[in-house]
Amino acid sequence: KAGVTQTPRYLIKTRGQQVTLSCSPISGHRSVSWYQQTPGQGLQFLFEYFSETQRNKGNFPGRFSGRQFSNSRSEMNVSTLELGDSALYLCASSTGQPRAYNEQFFGPGTRLTVL
Amino acid sequence: LAKTTQPISMDSYEGQEVNITCSHNNIATNDYITWYQQFPSQGPRFIIQGYKTKVTNEVASLFIPADRKSSTLSLPRVSLSDTAVYYCLVLGGATNKLIFGTGTLLAVQP
């Protein structure tokens, strides 16, 4: 069974631009969560989707948004990029709603660099 | 607001047992505590989870006291390949959001 895939793996953007990241969950998984990982802040929860509905959102500004499609694939978008948005963005999928008891399967991440 | 804290780093030698503790207050009463392992340039990978007392699988043990305000991941007889960052994951009690611990870098030396 294929794992979680994220595209692109690496991305370089400049301040003010916008970016869209994509995540394809494991087949059969209906839940997708997104995380931002930085050396200073660690792993921070961005948002979670279950059956195309955003179920929860972390403490990030409105420039961060996402969506989930009927095939469970998910995208996240960051508008008006800032230098501080440089991070590894991780996507995780699970069979049920995002809970600590539902094992999350992580993709390799997208490394975003904002210049 | 739930906070999860872990030691920043730990050093060990091959063959030793390593215990990594995560302190977490105000976590959801109806969810588990889970631990993940992360290698460089990879996403975190599930290790073990539990609700209370002790859980053991083929790679680790997890100890959770009755008040569930902390949990301890125990790695028996570590090897060089166990060098990684270890995270606890809980569900915040008030926020109902998943919260990763601050992460512990375990460095295993020969």
Per residue in A2-31, pLDDT tens?
899 999 999 999 999 999 999 999 999 999
Interchain pair A4, B31: CB under 8 A: no
Structure token pair of residue B13: 């030698």
Q: Are A93 and A104 in contact (CB under 8 A)?
A: yes
Interface of chain B against chain A, CB under 8 Å?
28, 31-34, 36, 41-46, 49, 87, 89-91, 96-103
Residues A28-82 pLDDT 10s: 999 999 999 998 888 999 999 999 999 889 999 999 999 999 999 999 999 999 9
Partners of residue B43 in chain A, C-beta under 8 Å: 4, 90, 92, 106-109
Give the number of other CB atoms < 10 A from CB of residue A95.
14
CB contact under 8 A, A99 and B31: yes
The residue to which tokens 């976590």 are assigned? B27
- 3-state DSSP helix/strand/coil % of chain A, to nearest 5: 5, 50, 45
Position B2 scores a pLDDT of 58
Distance, CA of A43 to CA of A37 (rounded, Å): 4
% of residues, chain B, pLDDT over 90: 74
**Which residue type occupies A16?**
G
Q: How far is A70 from chain B (nearest CA, A)?
A: 23
pLDDT of residue A36: 96
What's the whole-number average pLDDT of chain B?
Answer: 91
pLDDT digits (tens, 9 = 90+) for B30-65: 888 999 999 998 999 999 999 988 999 999 999 999
CB atoms within 10 A of CB B76: 12
Selecting from B36, B97, B102 the residue whose C-beta is nearest the C-beta of A42 gives B102
What are the strands, taking DSSP E only, across chain B?
Answer: 4-5, 9-13, 18-24, 33-38, 45-50, 53-56, 61-64, 70-75, 84-91, 98-100, 104-109
Instruction: With cut-offs at 50, 70 and 90, classify the pLDDT of residue A92.
Output: very high
In this predicted structure, what is the pLDDT of residue B93? Answer: 73
Residue partners of B58: CB distance under 8 A and separation at least 6: none
B33-51: burial string, b at 16+ Cβ within 10 Å, e else: bbbbbbeeeebbeebbbbe
- Residues of chain A in contact with residue B41, where contact means CB-CB under 8 angstroms, are 108
Has residue B29 got a pLDDT over 90? no
Q: Are B32 and A108 an interchain contact pair (Cβ–Cβ within 8 Å)?
A: no
Max Cα-Cα span within chain B: 44
How close does chain B come to A28, measured CA to CA in Å? Answer: 18
Q: Please state, in angstroms and rounded to a whole number, the distance separating the CA atoms of residues B95 and A45.
A: 12
Q: In the beta sheet, which residues pair with residue A7?
A: A22
**How many other CB atoms are there within 10 angstroms of residue B69's CB atom?**
13
